[in-house]
Amino acid sequence: MTEAYYNLLYDVLRSYDRCTPSKIYRLRKDQVFVFGTDAKGSQRYGAAGLAAKEFGAEVGVTDGPTGDSYAMPTMGCSLDVLGNAILRFEQYARSNRGKTFLVTPIGCGHARFKAEEVAPFFRGCIALGNIMLPEEFISFFRKECIDKLHLKGNCNDAEDTDIYLLYDESVHPVLKYLETYNIPFSKEGGFSLVDESDNVIAEAELGIESEKIVFAPFDKNSEKAFVSAGYSILSVEEYLTSKTQD
């Protein structure tokens, strides 16, 4: 690939804002959970288990759409088999632009592939607006560009902005405020409320634990749970306006 290609790719990656959240508990409308499964489609462990339990993935499906999910063969399969499945997935996503596909670190768990082995197969997905890729894969592409372009900088420069990739763009103004004033918030994306048994009972796009404030709860049940636990639900504008009045 040419230097011009890597320059273009690096520019795209610097503003890439579609990283898959590190923790996924529920799907929004028209979202699809993309996971890796074993050769039998047993859907028992890791992302496959979550897909079966929460997102309608059927046992026995190893390749293609199932419920609100999309399966790819990983554990017990060769890298070539996985690569071909990824190419089929890319074509499926291109044909279903009305859906948003949340790709997990396919093959990098129980299947024991490395991110640098799997990520190249997703190269054609980077520019697709309806595909979210995991940070592990995006980091691989960034490092590849830095190496190919012989840039003096290092990946830490890119990692400084990775936090923003984990949050919806609507809350980025709050993130900037929190960083400016050193107010702690989750560096993994999202905000969850758990009960005494450590079960997730509410989720929001962003939360500030020290101030008992959350932004954009995922659903009505989450709203009720946060309010019951003493949290205030604010919009970005309400929060920033309140800070200018302090």
| Per-residue H/E/C for the chain | CCHHHHHHHHHHHHCCCCECCCCCCCCCCCEEEEEEEECCCCCCCHHHHHHHHHCCCCCCCCCEEECCEEEEEEECCCHHHHHHHHHHHHHHHHHCCCCEEEECCCCCCCCCCCHHHHHHHHHHHCCCCCEEECHHHHHHHHHHHHHHCCCCCCHHHHHCCHHHHCCCHHHHHHHHHHHHCCCCCCCCCCEEEECCCCCEEEEEEEEEHHHCEEEEECCHHHHHHHHHCCCEECCHHHHHHHHHHC
Q: Does residue 162 lie within any of the structural domains? A: no
Q: Does residue 145 lie within any of the structural domains? A: yes
Residue 15 vs residues 123, 124, 146, 184, 198: alpha-carbon distances, Å: 16, 17, 15, 24, 35
**Residue-level pLDDT at 143:** 84
Q: Does residue 227 lie within any of the structural domains? A: yes
Do 147 and 179 belong to one domain? no
Do 199 and 103 belong to one domain? no
Do 64 and 121 belong to one domain? yes
Residue type, 203: E
Residue 36 vs residues 29, 71, 111, 165, 226: alpha-carbon distances, Å: 22, 6, 8, 23, 33
Do 53 and 136 belong to one domain? yes
Do 96 and 178 belong to one domain? no
Do 77 and 21 belong to one domain? yes
Positions of the chain with pLDDT lower than 70, given as ranges: 152-162, 165, 246
Q: Does residue 206 lie within any of the structural domains? A: yes
Q: Total structural domains in the chain?
A: 2
Q: Does residue 204 lie within any of the structural domains? A: yes
Q: Which of 167, 199, 173, 200 is nearest to 186 (CA)?
A: 167
Q: Does residue 125 lie within any of the structural domains? A: yes
Do 112 and 224 belong to one domain? no
Residue in this structure with the two tokens 């993130």, named with its chain if needed: 175
Do 78 and 115 belong to one domain? yes
**Residue-level pLDDT at 156:** 46
**Residue-level pLDDT at 11:** 82
**Residue-level pLDDT at 165:** 66
203 backbone φψ class: left, alpha, beta (φ>0; ψ -120 to 50): beta
What is the domain-level CATH number for residue 136? 3.40.220
Residue 176 and residue 81: Cα distance in Å, rounded?
43
Encode pLDDT of 38-65 as tens digits.
999 999 888 999 999 999 999 999 999 9
End of a domain among 87, 121, 156?
156
Residue 144 vs residues 5, 100, 137, 140, 155: alpha-carbon distances, Å: 12, 26, 11, 6, 10
End of a domain among 104, 128, 156?
156
Do 30 and 148 belong to one domain? yes
Do 148 and 182 belong to one domain? no
Do 146 and 189 belong to one domain? no
End of a domain among 127, 156, 185?
156
pTM (2 d.p.) = 0.62
**Residue-level pLDDT at 16:** 86
Domain that holds residue 61: 3-156
Q: Does residue 161 lie within any of the structural domains? A: no
Q: Does residue 164 lie within any of the structural domains? A: no
The first and second tokens of residue 164, run together, are: 């923003």
Do 33 and 100 belong to one domain? yes
Q: Which of 106, 47, 60, 101 is nearest to 79 (CA)?
A: 106
